[in-house]
Chains A and B, each alone.
Chain A
């Protein structure tokens, strides 16, 4: 597995047992948590349920949160991960058949987490860097072709691929990624 979520730099101090803390935690992290929940559950309604359950569980266990061990964000993600597993199990018990009778494929949770991390990081890097990575890596187009389309030398496309990967690395580290 190439990466995992671990300690973050901006660790939030204090327990989550007060409602004000929950509100602050929600303001800071709900967007990301929801993004990951949608990514891994593939359903907006279930994702809302998962995020709600995550904050309620976090509030209940607020006294157990220790900022010395890890950041609030990491802790919330760990709770959400368990909630997603629980919801996935509940869904497996009463399977829903998609249109046409084909079961939607369920991505393993770790893969979904990696996918979400990269997607979120891609959203945070510069447009030009993202664009060359999409065109050359995801669409597999030749560097020369992309260079011509963008009106830049081929060397510039290569260097943008490099600075793009670097930017991804920095953003991923901010999000808690470590080798």
Chain B
């Protein structure tokens, strides 16, 4: 039986000691050694915090670490790439805006044009408004797009007499109307009429279309389930239903 251990042998017991697993006699011997050995005391001090951390761990998780899916790196790169592009676009717009503010009237006109062009790059918060007369005869689709100058209106009409003059206006918060221009509906023409009004889209409450003798009014904001009663269709007894409209606001 060994009565005297050397320092290395005592030190190799420090793990079991730190975890409270030494028998009484061995523990007493080690404690006596620790009293006289600064090196072993320092070693114990280094092991104790590790011993205190052990209870937090779950041994079921020691064998294999979860690995991130292979495509996660590419997804992150794509996200960053997308955000960089958006930042770049914003910077470009600010740059053009700066020229406009610093410049003369001519430069201002250019800036308005550029805002118009660049504004289209972003996913614009445009609104789509669809009018359907109750009889189902007349359909008007309008897409409203906000711009610095006001609102752009792209309009497609179906079901009115060919050659009908259509006057379009936007209605603001207090019922004030802002003219957006006129167009003439032609059969067989599938192109949109592009109009513009000085009223901001955020302040636009309704789109008003006078098509010949009929007037269609569709609310724009907020989305409304019920119909805004169309202004009376003047003297067209053949289609009284057209004055009452179903409106759908599509986003």
Contact = CB atoms under 8 A, between A and B. Distances in A.
Nearest to B61: A119
Interface in A38-59: 38-39, 44, 47-48, 51-52, 55-56, 59
B52 interface: yes
Nearest 4 A-B pairs (CB), nearest first?
A162-B15, A118-B57, A161-B15, A159-B12
A134 B15 contact: no
A7 B160 CA distance: 75
Interface of A: 2-3, 19, 22-23, 26-27, 30-31, 34-35, 38-39, 44, 47-48, 51-52, 55-56, 59-60, 111, 114-115, 117-120, 122-123, 130, 133-134, 136-139, 143, 155, 158-159, 161-166, 168-169, 172, 179
Interface string B110-124: 000000000000000
A139 B54 CA distance: 12
Given A44-B66, A172-B50, A56 B83 contact: yes
Contacts of A122: 57, 59, 62
Contacts of B75: 52
B56 interface: yes
A158 B23 CA distance: 12
A143 B46 contact: no
24 contacts: A3-B49, A3-B53, A30-B68, A30-B73, A35-B65, A51-B68, A52-B79, A55-B76, A56-B76, A56-B80, A114-B53, A115-B58, A120-B65, A137-B54, A143-B16, A143-B21, A159-B15, A161-B15, A161-B19, A162-B47, A165-B18, A165-B19, A165-B50, A169-B46
Interface in B48-92: 49-54, 56-59, 61-69, 72-73, 75-77, 79-81, 83-84
Nearest to B84: A19
B15 A118 contact: no
Given A2-B49, A48-B72, A169-B50, A118 B56 contact: yes
Contacts of A162: 11-16, 47
A134 to B, nearest CB: 5
User: Chain A's interface: helix, strand, loop or mixed, by majority?
Assistant: helix
Contact of B66 (A34, A55, A165, A166): A34
Nearest to B52: A2
A19 B21 contact: no
Pick from B51, B52, B68, B83 the residue with the most CB of A within 10 Å: B68
A158 B19 CA distance: 11
A51 B79 CA distance: 12
A118 B14 contact: no
Contacts of B59: 122, 134, 138-139
Contacts of B19: 136-137, 161, 165
B67 A34 contact: yes
Contacts of A120: 65
Contacts of B83: 56, 59-60
